[in-house]
Amino acid sequence: MTATNAIPIVEFERSRSSKKKPRFNLTNTSDLMLLEFDPVKWIVPGYVSEGFSVLAGRQKLGKTWLAIDMAIAVATGGAAMSSISCDQGDVLYIDMENGSRRIQSRISMLFPNKRTMPNLSSLDWVTDAPQLDKGFIDALEDWRSTTKNPRLVVIDVLQRIKPPAKNTGTSYEQDYSVWAPLQKWATDHGIAVIGLHHTKKGGAEDPLEALSGSNGLSACADATLVLDRTSNGITLYVRGRDVEEKEAALNFSGGFWTLQGDAATVRRTDERSIILEALRDADSLMSPTDLSDATRMSNQNIRQMLVTMQRPGK
């Protein structure tokens, strides 16, 4: 081998060995504990904080009405679900399913008297948007940078901005990677993004398992809210990284959502009322089995409730 031929080989090996190796950026626990962080920014206190949240539920259950309720509460500095005070800020509602006519109809239904309509100038609407891989984040950033007090973005529905599935990776991996840029944008800028999504038919034992598609979406989201209706009424379940896990009972009437309280407490109160009404209407003494037949509640629930009702203050 000649010297001329040997030079490129030596230079190649030297340049390869000179590449900087990846290293972790370590933070010692003692230093970490000295850091000061801003408190979590709540958009709908107790339910929606800064970051990416998913609001899921069956079709025609009222997800859009609930999202509009929260959007109006933030835009006006009013109360979400008729009871949760929200700090005022600018809101962007991206509605790709209803169109301007239906949006106007819904607002008119909520506020039929134009003279008493609140100032909704901080609530903007969009009826068309690019997919996530075709400029959606850039459009969000343009809105944020040109808005005085950006606080909340609603996407109705997430499926409309989701790129087509690829042939590589599992559905979980694909979903997680698809939504990760949206979650990062929301977290980096301290803005709440609520994405509306559907649940599977038949539900699931774990509310988060009820979301349509893979678990990649709920795993990526900072919080997941699941709206559901059972024989016990309508509930809103929430679980997330910063929010305390809870299940609330809601009432929906005339386009308005009303928070009734903790679902288990409300359920016990309703069951107690049903039992007391059956006892008042009875012509004779009733056994737990008689009460079960009269109220159509399970015999076990009847017995448990009767034990609870015997306790002082119950």
pLDDT tens, per residue, the chain with 314 residues: 444 454 454 554 555 556 789 999 999 999 999 999 999 999 999 999 999 999 999 998 999 999 999 999 999 999 999 999 999 999 999 999 999 999 999 999 999 998 889 999 999 999 999 999 999 999 999 999 999 999 999 999 999 999 998 888 899 999 999 999 999 999 999 999 999 999 988 778 888 999 999 999 999 999 999 999 987 789 999 999 999 999 999 999 999 999 999 888 877 766 666 776 777 777 777 787 877 787 777 777 767 777 767 665 55
Dig out the tokens for 236 from the structure.
């809103």
Please give the pLDDT value at position 243.
Answer: 93
Distances (CA, A) of 180 to 43, 51, 220, 221: 21, 11, 6, 8
Residue 94: which of 59, 137, 58, 60 has the closest Cα?
137
Please tell me the distance from the alpha carbon of residue 265 to that of residue 280, in angstroms, as a whole number: 23
Quote the pLDDT of residue 314. Answer: 52
pTM, entire model: 0.81
CB 193 within 8 A of CB 182: yes
First to last CA, the chain: 96
- What pLDDT sits at residue 3? 47
List of residues 6+ apart from 111 with CB closer than 8 A: 117, 118
Describe the chain by its helix, strand, coil percentages, rounded to 5: 40, 25, 35
Check if the beta carbon of residue 124 is closer than 8 Å to that of residue 90.
yes
Instruction: Taking each helix axis as running N to C, give the angle between helix 63-76 and helix 99-110, from 0 to 180 degrees, rounded to the nearest 10.
Output: 70
Q: What is the pLDDT of residue 167?
A: 82
What is the second-level CATH architecture of the domain 42-244?
3-Layer(aba) Sandwich (3.40)
pLDDT at 1: 44
Q: Where are the domains of the chain?
A: 42-244, 266-309
What does the angle CA 287 – CA 293 – CA 295 come to, to the nearest 5 degrees? 100
